[in-house]
Amino acid sequence: MGGADPAGPLVVDVRRNSLDDGPGIRTVVFFKGCPLRCVWCQNPETLSPRPQVQREPERCVGCGACAAACPAGVARPAREPERDPEAACRRCGACVAACPAAARRIAGRRVGLDELVSSLLRDEPFYRRSGGGVTLSGGEPAANPAAVGRLAAALRARGIHVLLETSGFVAWQAFRRHLLPHLSTVYLDLKLADPAAHRAHTGRDNALILGNLERLVRAGVEVLPRVPLVPAITDGEENLRALAARVRAAGLPRLALLPYNPLWLGKRRALGLPLPYARAEWRPAAAVAHAREVVRAAGVEVVG
């Protein structure tokens, strides 16, 4: 098996033994890069298409070794704000290597196809016994359709179930050519039915996403739409009813609701990113149950 390939995709993490990202026991690959900028993004370390330094202030001992090692002069102890890290940081890893407390890491490395496939096949016995497989997540895996498509093809050649988690904001022709033939299932996130609201909270309108939902259904692939229940943004009754109507019109009988998870806030702070949205509380069970009832009343089954 080969090592890192300069043309390979940027991988942030490989998470094993997942039970929440598709059927059975799964290994989830998180790719870097996403065209959307959802203000509640659960994986902010995957947004940028470049490697980033991720800091853990609670580990920092304030020794200043990172600042001394940084050739660009932007690194500061993780307890302190850095100087314009996105613009000036060279992502060389010098500060990471110098930190004695492991308070810094590089989020994102290029991984060659052979290396990644070999790693994922270590879990093949678990996939076989549980009806699981590999989930491609991010970020937006389809933002790099050729490289991720080669990975999906290699896995499907071994008979492994491949599931794609996508925002749906992808160029259809490249998606259909490189990825679609190798996918077992697609989980497509629907966030807001109103185009203006979608643009306000994600940076893009939803026309491409809704169009791709219909194209996937026509292509015959198994599709599960998912709606994140983001407080005061996506969880309103009007939005849920409108999204359920879209799902029903596409010919799909069901969707999944994803309760809001505030743990992303710490990750965004660790990257030195601003917080355009900062709801830190979990959603009460009663609020999630009410959302389910709204969708069911609109004629769509709720799964999960």
Q: For residue 1, is it within any domain?
A: no
Burial class (CB in 10 A: 0-12, 13-18, 19+), 274: exposed
Residue type, 115: E
Strands 161-166 and 52-55 turn out to be unpaired
pLDDT exceeds cutoff 90 at 191:
yes
Q: How far apart are CA 181 and CA 157, in angstroms?
A: 11
Per-residue pLDDT, averaged over 271-293, amounts to: 92
Does 222 share its domain with 239?
yes
Does 74 share its domain with 176?
no
Does 119 share its domain with 176?
yes
Residue 98: which CATH number?
3.30.70.20
Q: For residue 2, is it within any domain?
A: no
**pLDDT band of 52, cuts 50, 70, 90:** confident
Tokens 């896995």, residue located: 155
At 242-259, the pLDDT tens digits run: 999 999 999 999 999 999
Per-residue pLDDT, averaged over 72-76, amounts to: 87
> What is the pLDDT, as a whole number, of residue 3?
38
> What is the pLDDT, as a whole number, of residue 5?
42
Q: For residue 194, is it within any domain?
A: yes
Total of domains in the chain = 2
pLDDT exceeds cutoff 70 at 150:
yes
Does 171 share its domain with 294?
yes
Per-residue pLDDT, averaged over 8-37, amounts to: 95
State the virtual CA torsion across 5, 9, 12, 15 in degrees, nearest 10. Answer: -90
> What is the pLDDT, as a whole number, of residue 269?
83
pLDDT exceeds cutoff 70 at 147:
yes
pLDDT exceeds cutoff 80 at 104:
yes
> What is the pLDDT, as a whole number, of residue 296?
98
Does 61 share its domain with 38?
no
> What is the pLDDT, as a whole number, of residue 7?
58
Per-residue pLDDT, averaged over 97-103, amounts to: 93
Residue 201: which CATH number?
3.20.20.70
Per-residue pLDDT, averaged over 224-239, amounts to: 98
Does 194 share its domain with 289?
yes
Residue predicted with more confidence, 129 or 268: 129
What mean pLDDT value characterizes the chain?
92
Q: For residue 60, is it within any domain?
A: yes
Does 152 share its domain with 205?
yes
Q: For residue 3, is it within any domain?
A: no
> What is the pLDDT, as a whole number, of residue 4?
38
Please list, in sequence order, all residues whose beta carbon lies within 8 angstroms of the beta carbon of residue 284, skipping any fewer than 6 positions away: none
**pLDDT band of 151, cuts 50, 70, 90:** very high
Does 130 share its domain with 224?
yes
> What is the pLDDT, as a whole number, of residue 165?
98
> Do the Cβ atoms of 42 and 147 come closer than 8 Å?
no
Q: For residue 186, is it within any domain?
A: yes
Q: Which one of 65, 85, 106 terminates a domain?
A: 106
pLDDT exceeds cutoff 80 at 286:
yes
Per-residue pLDDT, averaged over 186-201, amounts to: 98
Helix (H) or strand (E) run with residue 155 in it: helix 145-157
Does 26 share its domain with 163?
yes
| DSSP state for residue 274 in the 8-state scheme | -
> Do the Cβ atoms of 63 and 77 come closer than 8 Å?
yes
Does 100 share its domain with 127?
no
pLDDT exceeds cutoff 50 at 139:
yes
Per-residue pLDDT, averaged over 10-20, amounts to: 95
> What is the pLDDT, as a whole number, of residue 1?
33
> Do the Cβ atoms of 14 and 112 come closer than 8 Å?
no
Does 92 share its domain with 220?
no
Q: For residue 34, is it within any domain?
A: yes
Does 99 share its domain with 119?
no
Q: For residue 4, is it within any domain?
A: no
Which range (7-11, 101-105, 236-240) has the least confidence?
7-11
φ/ψ bin of 61: left (φ > 0), alpha (ψ from -120 to 50), beta (otherwise): alpha
Domain that holds residue 191: 10-48+108-303
Per-residue pLDDT, averaged over 281-301, amounts to: 96
Please list, in sequence order, all residues whose beta carbon lies within 8 angstroms of the beta carbon of residue 250, skipping any fewer than 6 positions away: 213, 214, 217
Q: Which one of 64, 80, 106 terminates a domain?
A: 106
> What is the pLDDT, as a whole number, of residue 85?
53
